[in-house]
Each structure stands twice: as C-alpha cells, then as structure tokens.
C-alpha cells in the first residue's frame, strides 16, 4: 500500500460536529436547511464516467491511462497536496471481520462535506484496521486536457484511486467500491450494484428469514424498493453487496447514499426520515434562501442526494445475513415490460447481462432519459462485462433455490396519455406477493417468462399484462412491433460479448419444461 503524500497539515477522523464546523467555516455554496442539516450545491452534479480511467499498460475494455501518464498525474497531485490542509477519514468497507476491507479517504480540507458523507458510509475502524484501499481526492486541482478538465485514475495494482477536480461526493464513495469490485471477483464472488433487504421468519412462504437482492442503475428505484417495508422487511444495504458461492451475501456500507428527487414521507418514509435529520448531509438538493427544501425541484439537477447513518433508521444488522433467496432486476421502462416478470433459471444470466433501463440524471446528462443496457446494471465493473455474466452463471449453479424477477419501476404503454405509471405502492405489493407466494403466474407467449395473472394489492391488470392495454387501445400492431424489435435487439446485444458463455444468450428465450 503506497504511503500518503505529505501535506501541510492533516486532520484525522473528525466527528460529525467537527465536520459541520469546518464546513460552515470554509465552504461557500452551503446552506442550512429547515431540518437543521447542511446542503452543498456542487459544481459537478453526477459521476464523471468519461473522465474515469483505469491504470494499465495493456489493452482493456475500459477507459485506459498508461502507468507512466498516471504516475505523472500522481506526482502533480502529490506536489499540490504538499502545500494543502487535508482531512483523513479511515474505516472499513463491510462489517464482517472475515470479509471487510480497510479503506481511507485523503481529501483536501476545502471539501469537509465529502469527508463527512464518507465517514457515514464507512464502518468504524478498530485495533485490527489497516489500509488496503486509498482514495486521494483534490477537488481544487483540475486536470487540463482530460474530459471536463477532470480526472479519476483507478490503479487496481496498488489499490489507489485519485480524483482531480470534482466536488461531487459520488466519486469518493465509488472510489473505494469500484476497487472492491475487483477484490470480490478475485475471491470467487461477484459485486452486485444492489440493495439488500431481509424478511423476518414467519413472514415468508418458507417460514425462515430470507434475503432479497435488488439490482438496478442509480435512480431506477433501487433504494426505494430496498427501504420500502413489506411483510416486516428491514433494509440492510442500499447500494453494493458481494454475492458469494452458495448465495452467501456480504454488505459494504454503514450508511445510505439516497437519491432525493421526489422524496415523499408517504411513499418513502424511511429515506425521508433519515434525510431530514440534522446529522444528515445533503448535496445538490433544492433549498431556498430561508432553508425551505423542495425535493421536487429539478431546476439545477434531478440528482439531489443525501447521506445518513443506517443507525438512524430501523434496519437489519448487516452481519450474518441469510443466503439470497430472491433477485430483483429493476428496469425503469416505458413501453411493454410488465410490472413484474418471473424468470426461468436459464433466463436469469441473460436478463442480468441485458441490464435494461432508462437512464437517469445519476449517470449525467448523456444518460438521462435514454434507453440503456448496462450489464448487471453495474457501471463500475473493472473488466470485460462478459466476466460478470459468466461468474453469475457459476454462482447460480451453487444456488438452486434462488428466484429471480424483472421489476418495471417505470411505465406501461409508452409516455403518452394512454400510458400508466407503475406506482411505488404497486411495486411494494408485488414484492410482498413474491415473498408470501400469493401471486398467480401465467406464461408469456412472446418472451417465455411468466407474468402475473393477479397480485394482491395491484388492481390494474394492464400493469401486469401490457398486451391487454395495447389491445384495448387498438395498438396491438404497435405491441407486436415492439416485441419483434426487442427480441432482435436483445439477441444482437448479447451476441456482442465474445467471451460470454454461449449458454447465456441461448437461455434468453429458453423455457424449462
């Protein structure tokens, strides 16, 4: 592990009160909200995908920067830090003594809010702590000549990520978790961009405590689905978990990084409660001069965020989580994807690789509103995405009882007046029906998966079987065109992955007898 660069001064592991004092003393673009917490309006409003480069001298499937050039940038950053005040935050990714990783953030003291937010996500260090991952972060140092004059270098050989010129917290959070993706893969598992919730014994059809993994791109409802309570469920994790052989699950963070657009106390009471406490930290949320918060105002960005400790909300202890029983693949669609589809086992790796959804502001302006395919819905994987599908296929062989579903968190019937929104309460009823075993399923003749004939709590049948909506609106020909187009596009997309196990695209429409 490389040594930290020398700095003029280093403040080590301040507590939340000290972070707040530093922020109020040093930061502009900062305002206290009506809830007593602080909101920072960042210049950068989303992750900088095009500015992120993996350090390698070999050809790889990701954006690449040579080791020599990365070393030159590292030297510039070290020289910059030598005359700067810095903050050091240390902790663990993960709480399990047998599966946790020491991580540290070394950040310019001009941005104490980022350090404060990160400190809420790390599990606390103890006497056994030692640094394995390092994130070195200088918001004030630009990277001229790189996209947006900003740069993130990811050195997996030395487990170090360096961030230049961004004041967006997500680069700190993902700085550690992106490296953790590689570590989990090396240990025989797969890092999933997923929330995790647990249903207590007695509420499930098995009568045992059960885990549900909820994978999806940022902004597609992953955190909402994870934190919404059904059948006594409790959230465990909102963003990244490790799936290991046998369905064993390991968690990563002691806090939540929640998207705040549309945050409502009725639809999302848990996230709302955590976000509106004085010790939460807000970023890019709309706050007026009097501190009034408007979670529905997108005039600056729809990618407002908050962090808060999981300790501030009801949650299930993140240690000793039961093996995974359910996998939900979120798809924020707007055409003919049903509110829920149950996948046959041969289809699970294919739909995992498809990673279909509509992009949101969390991925930046280039992705917002566009139809996307991101394998595993994980934009942070370190290598060829075919490795994700192949590893999931191998893991599924050790998990014969896992059930998987596609959950549409968008619309059915397009975006016009005739379309219908899949509401949060609809998705919640579906999740409860899955766990309780109360959904009646029927085969879909076009895609081979199963669709719901009925779901307790979902009154609109057209959300469950979109063909009924298109038929009633005399749009059946449009529906058939969509089926043909989607079938063709999915087949062509999976064929692009030369290293993908051939059984994965072959299972896309394969139905077990």
Q: Angle at the Cα of 235 (from 229 to 238), degrees rounded to 5?
A: 120
User: In whole angstroms, what is the distance from residue 135 CA to residue 172 CA?
Assistant: 7
Q: Which fold has domain 9-31+51-188?
A: Phosphoenolpyruvate Carboxykinase; domain 1 (3.40.449)
R_g over Cα of the chain: 23
Tell me: pLDDT of 337 over 70.
Answer: yes
Asked if residues 349 and 393 have their Cβ atoms less than 8 Å apart, the reply is: yes
pLDDT of residue 361: 46
Three-class SS state of 39: strand
Three-class SS state of 224: helix
Structure tokens at 407: 């959950």
pLDDT tens per residue, range 218-232:
878 999 999 999 999
Main-chain dihedrals φ then ψ at residue 48, nearest 5 degrees: -100, 75
pLDDT of residue 367: 47
User: In whole angstroms, what is the distance from residue 469 CA to residue 462 CA?
Assistant: 5
Residue identified by tokens 């992750």 is 47
Main-chain dihedrals φ then ψ at residue 241, nearest 5 degrees: -140, 160
In which order are the strands placed within the sheet that holds 249-251? Answer: 190-192, 241-243, 249-251
pLDDT tens per residue, range 244-289:
999 999 999 999 999 999 999 998 999 999 999 999 999 999 999 9
Query: Is the torsion defined by CA of 48, 49, 54, 58 positive or negative?
Result: negative
The CB density around residue 229, as the number of other CB atoms within 10 Å, is 16
- Is CATH 3.30.930.10 the right assignment for the domain spanning 255-309? no
Three-class SS state of 475: coil
Look over the chain and give the mean of its residue pLDDT values, rounded to a whole number.
94
Asked if residues 107 and 172 have their Cβ atoms less than 8 Å apart, the reply is: yes
pLDDT of residue 219: 79
* CATH value of 191-253+318-506 in 2.60.120.260, 3.40.50.300, 3.40.630.10, 3.90.228.20: 3.90.228.20
User: In whole angstroms, what is the distance from residue 67 CA to residue 261 CA?
Assistant: 39
pLDDT tens per residue, range 344-374:
999 999 999 999 987 554 545 554 556 789 9
pLDDT tens per residue, range 459-474:
999 999 999 999 999 9
- Domain positions in the chain: 9-31+51-188, 191-253+318-506, 255-309
pLDDT of residue 488: 94
pLDDT of residue 511: 61
* Confidence category of residue 59, pLDDT binned at 50, 70, 90: confident
User: In whole angstroms, what is the distance from residue 497 CA to residue 291 CA?
Assistant: 50
Single out the residue of 104, 169, 110 nearest to residue 141, CA to CA. Answer: 110
pLDDT of residue 513: 47
Q: What percent of the chain has pLDDT over 90?
A: 90
Residue identified by tokens 């004030």 is 140
Buried b (16+ CB within 10 A) or exposed e, 170-206: bbbbbbbbbbbbbbbbeeebbbbbbbbbbbeeebbee
* 452 vs 1, more confident: 452
In which order are the strands placed within the sheet that holds 38-40? Answer: 30-32, 38-40, 281-283, 305-309, 255-259
CA distances from 28 to 22, 49, 110, 231 (A): 11, 26, 10, 45
Q: The whole model's pTM is what?
A: 0.94
What is the average pLDDT across 480-491?
Answer: 94
Q: Alpha-carbon dihedral of residues 367, 375, 284, 86, nearest 10 degrees?
A: -120
pLDDT of residue 459: 94
Structure tokens at 342: 């149950």
pLDDT tens per residue, range 494-503:
999 999 999 9
Q: What percent of the chain has pLDDT over 70?
A: 96
Q: Angle at the Cα of 389 (from 387 to 391), degrees rounded to 5?
A: 65
Q: At what angle do helices 112-121 and 16-26 cross, to 10 degrees?
A: 160
* Confidence category of residue 177, pLDDT binned at 50, 70, 90: very high
User: In whole angstroms, what is the distance from residue 244 CA to residue 234 CA?
Assistant: 22
417 CB-contact burial (10 Å; exposed 0-12 / middle 13-18 / buried 19+): exposed
């Amino acid at each position: 592990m490389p040594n930290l660069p020398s700095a003029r001064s280093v403040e080590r592991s301040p507590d939340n009160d000290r972070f707040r004092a530093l922020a109020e003393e040093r930061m502009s673009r900062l305002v206290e909200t009506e809830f007593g917490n602080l909101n920072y309006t960042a210049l950068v409003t989303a992750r900088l995908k095009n500015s992120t480069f993996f350090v390698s001298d070999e050809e790889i499937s990701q954006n690449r920067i040579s080791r020599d050039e990365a070393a030159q940038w590292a030297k510039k950053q070290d020289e910059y830090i030598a005359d700067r005040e810095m903050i050091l935050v240390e902790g663990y990714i993960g709480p399990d003594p047998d599966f946790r990783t020491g991580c540290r953030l070394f950040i310019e003291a001009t941005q104490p809010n980022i350090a404060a937010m990160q400190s809420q996500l790390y599990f606390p260090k103890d006497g056994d702590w030692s640094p394995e991952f390092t994130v070195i972060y200088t918001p004030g140092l630009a990277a001229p000549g790189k996209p947006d004059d900003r740069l993130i270098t990811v050195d997996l050989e030395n487990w170090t990520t360096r961030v230049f010129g961004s004041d967006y917290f997500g680069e700190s959070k993902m700085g550690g978790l992106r490296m953790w993706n590689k570590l989990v893969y090396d240990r025989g598992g797969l890092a999933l961009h997923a929330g995790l919730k647990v249903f207590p014994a007695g509420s499930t059809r098995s009568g045992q405590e059960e885990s549900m993994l909820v994978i999806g791109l940022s902004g597609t409802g992953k955190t909402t689905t994870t934190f919404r309570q059904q059948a006594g469920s409790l959230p465990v994790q909102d963003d990244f978990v490790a799936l290991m052989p046998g369905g064993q699950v390991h968690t990563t963070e002691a806090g939540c990084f929640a998207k705040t657009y549309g945050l409502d106390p009725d639809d999302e009471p848990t996230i709302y409660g955590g976000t509106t406490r004085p010790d939460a930290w807000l970023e890019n949320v709309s706050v007026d001069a009097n501190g009034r918060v408007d979670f529905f105002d997108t005039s600056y960005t729809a990618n407002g965020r908050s962090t808060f400790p999981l300790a501030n909300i009801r949650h299930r202890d993140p240690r000793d989580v039961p093996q995974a029983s359910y996998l939900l693949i979120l798809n924020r669609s707007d055409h003919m994807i049903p509110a829920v589809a149950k996948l046959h086992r041969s289809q699970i790796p294919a739909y995992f690789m498809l990673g279909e959804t509509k992009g949101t502001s969390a991925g930046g302006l280039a992705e917002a509103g566009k139809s996307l395919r991101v394998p595993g819905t994980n934009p942070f994987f370190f290598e060829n995405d075919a490795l994700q599908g192949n590893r999931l296929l191998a893991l599924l062989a050790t998990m014969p009882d896992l059930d998987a579903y596609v959950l549409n968190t968008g619309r059915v019937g397009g975006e016009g007046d005739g379309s219908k929104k899949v509401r949060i309460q609809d998705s919640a009823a579906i999740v409860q029906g899955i766990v309780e075993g109360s959904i009646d399923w029927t085969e879909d003749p076009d895609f081979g998966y199963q669709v719901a004939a009925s779901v307790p709590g979902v009154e609109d049948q057209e959300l469950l079987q979109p063909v009924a909506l298109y038929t009633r609106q005399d749009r059946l020909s449009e529906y058939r065109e969509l089926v043909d187009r989607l079938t063709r596009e999915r087949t062509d997309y999976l064929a692009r992955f030369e290293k993908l196990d051939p059984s994965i695209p072959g299972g896309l429409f394969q139905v077990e007898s």
